[in-house]
Amino acid sequence: MSSVALNLGIEALLAAQTALDTVGHNVANANTPGYSRQSVLLRAGPSMRLGNNLVGNGVRAMDIVSVRDLLVDRRILTQRSAIARLDALSSGLSDVESLLGEPGEGSLSSMISGFFSGVSRLSANPGDTVLRRDALVAGSDMAERFRSLYAGLETLRGDAAARVDAQVERVNQLTDSIATMNRAIGATEIDGSTANDLRDERDELLRDLADVVDVAVVEREDGTVAVTTRGQVLVSGTRNFEMEGETSIAQGVTLRIHGSTQELEPHGGSLGGLYAQVRSVLPERLQKLDDLARSFVHEINKAHSTGVPGTGPFRSLESTHALHDVDEDGAYDDELLAMAGLPFPVQDGALLVNMTDRVTGAVETVRIEIDAEETTVGDLVSQLNAIPQLTAVVEGNGQLSLRAAEGFGFDFAARSYPSSGAVGGSAVAITGQFGGDAAADFTFRPRSSGDVGATPDLLVDVFDQNGDRIATLDVGAGYVPGSELELGNGLKASFGLGTITNADSFELHAATDGDTADVLAALGLNTLFTGTGASDIGVSERILTDPRLFAASATGADGDGGALSDILAVSEASLEALGGSSPIQYVGGLVAGVGFDRASAELAMETEQLLHDGLVAQRDARSAVNVDEELVDMLRFQQSYQAAAQFIQVVNGLNDELMRLL
Amino acid sequence: MPLRPTQAAAFGIVQNTLERRLADLMRAQEQASTGKRILRPSDDPVGTSLAIDLRGEQDLIGRWRQTAATSQPYLDAANSSLDASHQLLGQIRSLAMQALSGTMGDTDREGVANQIASIKASLVDSANTAFDGKYLFGGTVSSSQPFTVGADGTVSYRGNDQLQSVILGLGVEVPINVPGSDAFMARDPRGLSLSGASGLAVANGPSQGDGWLDIEIRHDATAGTPGSGLVLTNGGADDTILGDRTLVIDAAAQTVRLGNGPIVQFPDATHPDAADFVVRDEHGALIHLDVTGFDGTDSNVTLSGSGSIRAGSGDFVALDLAEDDLQLVDPTTGAVMRVDATGVVRASTDVARFEGTLDVFAAIDGIIADLRNDAGLPIDEVQARMDARLGELIRNQDAMLTAMGRAGAATHRLEATDGRLANQQLTVAGRLSEVEDIDLTEAILNMTRAQQSLELAQMSGSRLLETTLLDYLR
């Protein structure tokens, strides 16, 4: 019996010892990240039959278990991925925000305003060289801002791509460690015990991994975990599969698991956030900035190209955008103009070319019809060449070069033409600047026959291209030959002495835009801005060096600011290419978009953080160490130990008593 | 599951709370110190977008105001220069009127002419006013002098008739110039009129041309022989009669009468004038008679003058006095005149005036020429011409007034627009401040609140963390 009792006492001592050790371990790890508190599983020993009685046989420390909730642990992993992703995204967007510098001085929107202000000031005195230079410098500053913003965004994208590479490296380290832990745990637990601390360590590694990339974790029966991300395996048993990143200019970065052909698109973790930056957030902003610059260049150039520079009509001009020999047969002539590799579209319309005789000042206007689906480069060149005193050549490098004969100059301004002609025997002169909304063709038709200024009720009807009568001019008795009669829309006509008959007619063409086909902007002839997007926008070097070449005039007169009005109109225009908003509004949208994304990322991060904190609290409530609790346990097991020792002493005393009897 | 608090959780909570409170305080401090509510777009994306729009609007309004301010001096300069020009015209008018009054002698008139000529030079200067390197009255031709004075003193216009406008609002375009063609070269063609002694009249047919030009009607020959032994001096070469006239000689009274002209006594054969005695008819047309061969008889014969006509620098054509619709063309100016020759009675240099086509400088040149009267025209003809010139001058002066009115209206529009824009700018600035700026009281309150929250968290946190069972275990 004594041996039984002693044995029982020792068991109790050992159990209390184990429990105290566990308490010590818990207290020691109270602040170890990821540590799950452990507790000793005590069980009463198997009882023995002594006569009719079943006598208890002490206590056994059966097992040390760690207290954990697997479900909560997995949910924490998901939350951490979400938070890390939002954090990476938000810090990336914050970089974009500071780069944009809106709202504030020196921002893109204020630079755009600055350019228009310069142009507007110039409109008060279009001939002034200082004001011209001011406007051009403002344009140049704006272009510089476009370029530096674009370059800044590209740098951010490059940085993010480099950080993706670093994160891929981190994923591979972590998955390697997890695979190693899997092996250790498997080896330890082969005897059925639980490797609590190794598991804690592996859990910590999994949490680190979740910070980098979103993972799904499944625990196998052998104690190992399988880790997958977006359905692709990262760790299986004791093996890990390396993630590989590939950087390219077009895509930024592409990811895949070694040996897999499928592209990997991480959605969570810092990798997910960076990946989103490289693949969508930054490219979207780059695209928007580029769209803005592109339509800006196009719209301003359309307005500028039909203007006349301060130096008067051109003697020669070269296109800045080269034509491309698309079918590679060595000739440009057979290329369709609209598909000759020009950066901006050519559409159906007409191009006006005005030839000015520099000596007499006489102007002859020729209209070249452009059909986007039919007109070839050759057609355009030959029609240009058909204009007297003008030579057009496509150079070997694809540049179109125009040259006027000595003593002549050309421009592309919208004019009403011809400025003089005849109805029968009466000379007609047209004066004034056409102010209509759209191009119009007018036909003068006398209603009856007679002598100008003499025949009573001699009327001339003026019809527009739709056959509507827009004016009736009385040139009969009482009309003073040579005096001006209103045609409407700013045009006036005067008739000279002579006889007209109702069979006579006179055609007058009035235009509001010298290039409705946008050929000039596409070719880059007489354009203000060079480049085709945010990365290469700039003010034409030619004009910047000689501000007089700024084509401010719509008529050729050096004090006219018609082209400036057209440029200013762009500032408030709803541009089709920008979704119907004005340039400034578009910048507002772009900036607000970044702000929205960041604000919503931060808000989401706060929400996710709250959820995460809740889950952590839940986990802590179950698994974390409460030192006070452990102290109480310590007292308890200390007392058990003391009691067990006392018990052994008592049993020992009993044995001594017995021995003395012998 | 019952709540089981742990030290780690307590530390975590205290730490989190402290971090958040500190972040709040920093944000409140940043807002209070910058005075801005939006420091980065993510603070308030909607507000940011609105702020950018409002700033754009503010820039736009600022741009318009600046353009108005830049334009104003040009208009002011044009206005004062037009005002000066108008006054110069007034001086010319009063000088011409004085000269017209008829009490002046030739030398006085010459003096007035010189005075007017110098005023004209000032007027040309005024019309060529440039402000800040920009000629104000050239239409949209602004870098070269719009009015140039030729070798013969005539002024020609090199500008155009176009308006230069600035944009001062959506769809608001204000012209900021007055073309010289309107201010100094106003035209109001009203057809042809003739003045002169010949009796030439304007025909029904239409005429076309500019300014004033001479129509010269020349006497070529006188047909017929005076009776009573008288003969035409030099064969009638110096006569001016055109058409038929009766010449009645009354021998008893020794008088002669041409047409319905005055009856005049002719001198004796011995008189020094006897070889060249001038007789006029009621129109002032004259014949030269040699009376030395007077035979003492009465006579009544008909003399007939024939002549030719030309306009400006054209060739003389024989004048058919029955032609009531004669077309004359001046090859230099291309002017076409239709005249009625049926009333022509004498040779003369008449003036064809295309009413309402004379610019201010040509009118002044004309007045000067009239005053100098190099052609030696009779005073009443000079006065008639000057009347006509003054008419043109007054018309030009009126046109100048109209131009000044337009410049004044443009100035007024600039000022009114600027005032309106200034109000608008204030409104936009207010709205922008509402969006971007922080209410300072609120900012300071927020900051104080954040500070208190942080202190509270620190205090309560330290209390929570310092409790442990160990304090009571012995």
Q: Which residue in the set B48, B138, B162 is minimally distant from A592, CB to CB? A: B48
- Of the candidates B398, B342, B306, B434, the one whose C-alpha atom is nearest the C-alpha of residue B82 is B398
Q: What digits encode the pLDDT tens for the residues B173-186?
A: 888 999 998 888 88
CB contact under 8 A, B45 and A483: no
Q: Which helix (H) or strand (E) holds B217?
A: strand B212-223
Long-range pairs, A472-479, Cβ under 8 A, ≥24:
A472/A447, A473/A444, A475/A426, A475/A500, A476/A450, A476/A452, A477/A453, A478/A453, A479/A452, A479/A453, A479/B206
- HSE-up of A111 (CA within 13 Å, CB side)? 22
The interface pTM score, or ipTM, of the predicted complex is 0.78
- Beta strand A390-394 with A459-463 is unpaired
Residues of B in Cβ contact (< 8 Å) with A432:
161
Give dist(CA A563, CA B167) in Å, integer: 12
Burial classification of residue A448, based on how many CB atoms lie within 10 Å of its CB (0-12 exposed, 13-18 middle, 19 or more buried): middle
Indicate left, alpha or beta for B87 from its phi (over 0: left) and psi (-120 to 50: alpha): alpha
Instruction: Name the one residue in this structure whose structure tokens are 């005005």.
Output: A354
For residue A460, the one-letter residue type is: V
- Beta strand A225-229 with A232-236 is antiparallel
Give dist(CA A280, CA A274) in Å, integer: 10
Pair B350, B328: CB distance under 8 Å:
no
Q: Which residues make Cβ contacts (< 8 Å) with residue A28, sequence separation at least 6?
A: none
- Of the candidates A509, A552, A561, A504, the one whose C-alpha atom is nearest the C-alpha of residue A364 is A509
Interchain contact B46–A (C-beta under 8 A): yes
Residues of B in Cβ contact (< 8 Å) with A30:
7-8
Give dist(CA B77, CA B154) in Å, integer: 25
Provide the token pair at B135.
Answer: 């000629």
Cα-only R_g, chain B: 46
A·B CB contacts under 8 A? 232
Pair B296, B282: CB distance under 8 Å:
no
User: Around Cβ B136, how many Cβ atoms within 10 Å?
Assistant: 28
Residues of A in Cβ contact (< 8 Å) with B44:
595, 599
Residues of A in Cβ contact (< 8 Å) with B7:
30, 624-628
- Rounded to the nearest 5 percent, the helix, strand and coil shares of chain B are 50, 20, 30
Give A257→chain B minimum CA distance, Å: 36
For residue B278, the one-letter residue type is: V
- Of the candidates B436, B35, B45, the one whose C-alpha atom is nearest the C-alpha of residue A602 is B45
pTM of this structure: 0.83
Task: Determine the pLDDT at residue B102.
Answer: 66
Q: Which residue in the set B42, B162, B208 is minimally distant from A560, CB to CB? A: B162
Residues of B in Cβ contact (< 8 Å) with A128:
132-134
Instruction: Name the one residue in this structure whose structure tokens are 């344009």.
Output: A139
Pair A264, A232: CB distance under 8 Å:
yes
Q: What digits encode the pLDDT tens for the residues B117-163?
A: 999 999 999 999 998 888 999 988 888 899 999 988 889 998 888 88
Interchain contact B419–A (C-beta under 8 A): no
CB contact under 8 A, B141 and A559: yes
Q: What is the mean pLDDT of residues B373-393?
A: 84
The per-residue b/e assignment along A587-609, b for 16 or more CB within 10 angstroms, e otherwise, is: bbbbbbbbbbbbbbbbebbeebb
CB contact under 8 A, A117 and B469: no
Instruction: Chunk chain A into consecutive blocks of 10 residues (it has 662) and report each block's average pLDDT, rounded to whole numbers.
Output: 77 91 91 86 85 84 85 91 93 90 81 92 89 94 94 92 92 95 90 85 93 92 90 90 86 86 90 92 93 94 92 92 87 88 91 92 90 91 93 91 94 87 88 82 90 88 90 88 86 89 89 90 93 93 92 87 90 88 90 90 91 88 88 92 91 89 82
Interchain contact B472–A (C-beta under 8 A): no
Angle between helices A108-124 and A129-188 (to 10 degrees): 170
Give A28→chain B minimum CA distance, Å: 13
pLDDT class of B2 with cuts at 50, 70, 90: very low
CB contact under 8 A, B140 and A594: no
Residue B1 pLDDT greater than 60, yes or no: no
Q: Which helix (H) or strand (E) holds A256?
A: strand A252-257
Those of residues 214-233 in B touching chain A at CB distance below 8 A are none
Q: What digits encode the pLDDT tens for the residues B282-334?
A: 888 889 988 888 888 888 999 999 999 999 888 999 988 888 888 889 998 88
Pair A116, A569: CB distance under 8 Å:
no
